Structure 1
């Protein structure tokens, strides 16, 4: 029996190349609003599943009985487009779908080439992309979830981008630091330890979201190194600009939402093996799919192991990650998910790296120089547990609650050098360290999201609450020894434990307890057919406590405590989105942010919080039926009430000047982004950011650069092209990351800019095997990475030219 429904035609594209780093304008020939359906089709015979699909969509499916005889379908559930749902229904069947017209589709065996649309886990659906990026083959997404619920990029009046699973795989992106380096507008600054700090528009991103739940990372403690392995994540969503509405205090730079992989509707197995420069080897097993016949229980398991040496002598290590997750549909409308991950790492690190001459000039040592000892050691152990529940009341209303718990332990023993090299040459000191950092983070978030019509307006409302808690138990000890020759490092000096180092030098113990809770809400109302108003606010309660105890020569001094509280702090947010047409929108937004301070005034009162105000104007486009997103934004962020020394007051704050809330800084600039399919077979992610930061009011630095790590010019481009016709089994990729010079952390010299070129070639042997080679830093550029660059140390060379070979096996079921 034929079922008919007017399905949307495919979009015809006319591409206009504009001057600049990439095309920023594509005109769609025809488009209509995407239609989604509610599917609840359990795993069953393919004939039965197709009949249920036709009943929902009114699409007629024509197929020979010989092709479907004895074939089963994994089923499909959720709010999906026609083609996306059909692709899931056909998962593992080996059949292709071809639409004859708007309401008729035929099924056939795969062909080597032709007009049939191949559906399944590794192709882009002709319907609009959803939030999940795995299996889409795309460098963009149809929606993001960091703002609660699902929203299109062009409907958000702030700068948002996504690093998809496809792009991570193509660029062999395995670490969070590599994601940051390849994300528009972000800077990864190497910390004194093995991790990094993340900066956006001159301000730190100190709180990260895990599946939408925010927990503090790197804001208060030395132990949160942000060394996450990306093997367990589907995508990383990034918001640039204040994120106080979502996370409360200490979110001036924005946020990143790391979204985990989940069990798929169809059985999927991927086995990956890698081998590359500096004896770099890796293996990964990724298994997922239904765990019962109905498909209501789905699981995911990932195991990843990586071992490598380094271009730096003696340095190297291994990392192991294990992840398991289960989702269960209690009903068609209620889903519960739980999971756990553990990441362990062990390395011989090269911490603090190279110093410079007193005049700021480079000492010219080779990139292989190791300043540590043979006993240098760093150990990381991070365990995460998460759980979430989502209930869909109907197609318009849902509630979601989620929990995240993270325990992280980092300890290290290492040698480095300390001091500036005299201009005429001379010795410096060895500095031996022992660190023992322990961090526990907890987060919870619950919200209700609903759409409704009222007073003649289309409206959407989100109401929620969240809570986070961070506690730390940190210890370090260090001792300096004179007589180090930077040109002839002794790698076999005797090792001292933490007790010996404290006896001979300095030591510190500290404990943080930082808790935050808040209630938040946003309201979207379509005032006119093309104009949408978004207003929101968050009320935050923030409680900070710090106890520290420092000592010298084996004796600790009295404990020092610092506390601050902020109660009922309201941070408003507002935005306007004007739909120029169905592909383009213009927007304006305003957002507040705040950062509590612990500095004291002359009356020993705590300074009021730093307050920030962000203004942003932009235009966004969602083109090619959602397969391409582009944006252009200009922004200004002013931050005031920063602590400054009260030079007119008495020195009665621990024997030094007290503070006044008078400092002010400004960050401003513009950025352009383009991500997705710009031409048939060509996926591209490109961005250019122009950003200046300046002290507007400060006792010491007024008029100078505020964020020494933020380059004025930042260009990031990567593209991958699948060749057409007889060469379609080949794909080639290339890209560049370039930035202008920055100021050193100690402001004594300039860190030169650089341009790093990477490339890739891949060959799909058959439906199950793919081989690829990535060549990084193709022209072997010698450069220093962003770090705490100073004359006394922390000058790290970036990776020289290197190669990674990858083989991927994906058995077909």
Structure 2
């Protein structure tokens, strides 16, 4: 690193006198003067450098000799000696990052700040590696259990979650491993107030949070970048899943108000690691994963990661099967000690038998076998996503940095599917329609941000400002025709589609959406105990759609301003009391009878809560109380048939409690509870009067999961655990014509883990309870999975 040193004017005057003396004295005097001057200057320069002793040990206090230590972006590298000591004899003033690794332990990154001369000592503790732990222990993140102190979804800034006036929950890699999570819905059931419902098919999940559904094209992000979540995203390359609750348009633009899901993927590491996993389970389930990472060059400044996953499975549903392939390469390069660029790519495709679920009879789901299949074996859903992008980050110093990201998705979705349309008076004969859906989507997202800190006395400001641009194009074509009916008691299947069947186009649409945005946020901290967060965002939207059947264009130009403000007070460091107000918006196309364009659907939320840390910060707990309103909902115009007006409002209020951590060594636990009351609060439609409950929203949900790993020498590595998941009764549609019964699921796990491998046996829905995950209408209800057993073997070298 280039160091520039300053010399005072007085010292320059002294040097001038001595140089004058140099040219007027004899050789001996000149020689003496030379050595005196050299000593003087060298001492001046050396005063600007420091010596650092790095001591590496394990959790029991034992020193680790032979651990690799590297100072990122420099030539300083080596191994610890017999006392676990690595010495850096001379290092100039600046901000550095130390990379520490040791075979069988979680690699660590630690910030090193050199402010001047002197000797410093840095003690670093590494945790033994086991499957499921974080792939790298970064400063501010705990390698322990199910909790995470820092989450990027809450603020996109380097701020502790306990200093943010929002509710953010994390599903860690350790939890994903312990529960043998294979789908995103299994991960999010650990978050209070989040449930999944069906879109009517088995091709992807829709989640409901704080009473409102999340939209696949809006509410999902990967590493902070918008992620169009169609299909069933694989979990193999997920490091953790963050859930930011409530309206979040300030940071993420047009999103539904229930919350935002941010998937954090595994990074490329500077230490070589090779992992593989095989999982087999009930109903012909088979899954294989590989995970390779390590340095490309000797210094480790260029690193790679390659995740791959293949899955082939049957189903408890008759005739249903699926397969999927996922490949995700990552390449990271340290351009310098302060600048890094990461290139990422992904290829994902899956195909599965199309399954519309079951129907309602009277006020409840039909009393039929949960294996009953009401589609055809040739019906399918296919999905493919090819995407790539980069993330660039440059730190000017420990306080200021710039970031830039780009992501491009090319998606294709094709379905040949049957819809259940009607139920005859005999309550067993179902009218059906068959349709062919084809959609080509292209999504491009780019952003640039600057973030930094300013400290003045007892006030610290953490600032963020950014700009975004996104492009979304979709060409969708749908055709269909009425199809043969089926009998729920004795269905008869065909093996192929009748080639003479003529389908009529119902949709031929081209969509073109452009969004530009500017946003800014500032957290002002007083005495490190009071934290005021304020931010705003301005979005400009331009939507241009064309209906190729009617030759009718639809143009929408709109803009939206969304603010957020919140306050956190920490009477003591371990307790945070907070309150906040936030907004979000979603653009709405269409117009009134008078031709006035619809306003965006806007949401606003008031939230108050408490966060605390217990057992020496090893256990985190939080509770939130909120009221969330969704406004400008379109409702029928009472004076003009076929037109709508915007007077509808839906409101949700409730309380949420989350606990996660490792209160004692080896015991990991996570628990949640939520009470949610979501209703129609204002509307002009007599079909859905005020106080009508929103669909798929239970009053009560709860979850508990815990595992214990034996710590004694003889049985060290053996563990066991289990959990309980409860969902209350829900109404299946907005008209409240039928209900889904409440349910509870019990699960258990047995495992043995060593440094290099892990074997685990998990049982899910052990009591084999019959339940329903959710509904989209009376003719779209998804049955829940019965008892299943999964066995997984993981190896990491």
Q: By the TM > 0.5 criterion, same fold? A: yes
Structure 2 partner of 1:779: 767
Highest Rg: 1 or 2?
A: 2
- Equivalent residues of 1:275, 1:805 under 8 A apart: yes
Task: Classify 1:628/1:519 alpha carbon distance in 2 versus 1 (closer, same or farther; 3 Å).
Answer: same
Measured after TM superposition, the shift of residue 607 of structure 1 is: 2.1
User: Matches of residues 221-370 of structure 1 in structure 2 within 5 Å?
Assistant: 225-350=230-355, 352-357=356-361, 359-370=362-373
- Structure 1 stretch 705-714 or stretch 587-596: which is displaced more? 705-714
Structure 2 partner of 1:533: 532
Aligned residue for 2:86, secondary structure, equals helix
Structure 1 partner of 2:37: none
User: Matches of residues 427-506 of structure 1 in structure 2 within 5 Å?
Assistant: 427-454=429-456, 457-492=459-494, 495-496=497-498, 500-503=501-504
Q: TM-score, normalised by structure 2?
A: 0.83
Task: Classify 1:425/1:669 alpha carbon distance in 2 versus 1 (closer, same or farther; 3 Å).
Answer: closer
Measured after TM superposition, the shift of residue 55 of structure 1 is: 7.4
Counterparts of 2:274 and 2:566 in 1: how far apart (Å)?
43
- Equivalent residues of 1:617, 1:635 under 8 A apart: yes
- Equivalent residues of 1:399, 1:448 under 8 A apart: yes
Structure 2 partner of 1:558: 550
1:196 aligns with 2:205: yes
1:666 aligns with 2:651: yes
- Equivalent residues of 2:73, 2:336 under 8 A apart: no
Measured after TM superposition, the shift of residue 349 of structure 1 is: 2.7
Aligned residue for 2:174, secondary structure, equals helix
2:78 is aligned, of 24, 45, 62, to 45
User: Matches of residues 119-134 of structure 1 in structure 2 within 5 Å?
Assistant: 119=128, 130=139
Measured after TM superposition, the shift of residue 140 of structure 1 is: 1.3
Task: Classify 1:118/1:618 alpha carbon distance in 2 versus 1 (closer, same or farther; 3 Å).
Answer: closer
Measured after TM superposition, the shift of residue 301 of structure 1 is: 0.4
Spell out, residue by residue over 1:33-75, the C-alpha distance to the aligned partner (whole angstroms, 9 max, x if none): xxxx986676843148942469789xxxxxxxxxxxxxxxxxx
- Equivalent residues of 1:131, 1:144 under 8 A apart: no
Aligned residue for 2:423, secondary structure, equals coil
Task: Classify 1:718/1:215 alpha carbon distance in 2 versus 1 (closer, same or farther; 3 Å).
Answer: same
Counterparts of 1:229 and 1:301 in 2: how far apart (Å)?
14
Structure 1 partner of 2:795: 809
Spell out, residue by residue over 1:694-749, the C-alpha distance to the aligned partner (whole angstroms, 9 max, x if none): 11111232323453112111112222211231332211121111111111125211
Aligned residues: CA RMSD: 3.3
Counterparts of 1:154 and 1:246 in 2: how far apart (Å)?
19
- Equivalent residues of 2:53, 2:86 under 8 A apart: no
Structure 1 partner of 2:226: 215
Structure 1 partner of 2:672: 687
Instruction: List alignment gaps of at least 5 residues for structure 1.
Output: 12-36, 58-76, 97-102, 108-115, 218-223, 550-556
Counterparts of 1:38 and 1:575 in 2: how far apart (Å)?
38
- Equivalent residues of 1:285, 1:303 under 8 A apart: yes
Q: TM-score, normalised by structure 1?
A: 0.82
- Equivalent residues of 2:240, 2:263 under 8 A apart: yes
Structure 2 partner of 1:795: 781
Task: Classify 1:483/1:45 alpha carbon distance in 2 versus 1 (closer, same or farther; 3 Å).
Answer: closer
- Equivalent residues of 1:213, 1:403 under 8 A apart: no
Counterparts of 2:257 and 2:651 in 1: how far apart (Å)?
12
Measured after TM superposition, the shift of residue 389 of structure 1 is: 0.3
Measured after TM superposition, the shift of residue 123 of structure 1 is: 9.5
Measured after TM superposition, the shift of residue 9 of structure 1 is: 14
Structure 2 partner of 1:760: 749
Counterparts of 2:455 and 2:257 in 1: how far apart (Å)?
34
Aligned residue for 2:152, secondary structure, equals coil
- Equivalent residues of 1:694, 1:703 under 8 A apart: yes
Structure 1 partner of 2:377: 374
Structure 2 partner of 1:722: 709
Counterparts of 1:130 and 1:93 in 2: how far apart (Å)?
16
1:698 is aligned, of 668, 683, 698, to 683
- Equivalent residues of 1:129, 1:626 under 8 A apart: no
Aligned residue for 2:432, secondary structure, equals strand
Measured after TM superposition, the shift of residue 184 of structure 1 is: 2.6
Structure 2 partner of 1:73: none
Aligned residue for 1:487, secondary structure, equals coil
Structure 2 partner of 1:597: 588
Task: Classify 1:479/1:641 alpha carbon distance in 2 versus 1 (closer, same or farther; 3 Å).
Answer: same
Task: Classify 1:578/1:42 alpha carbon distance in 2 versus 1 (closer, same or farther; 3 Å).
Answer: farther
1:733 is aligned, of 708, 721, 730, to 721
1:406 aligns with 2:418: no
Counterparts of 1:302 and 1:317 in 2: how far apart (Å)?
20
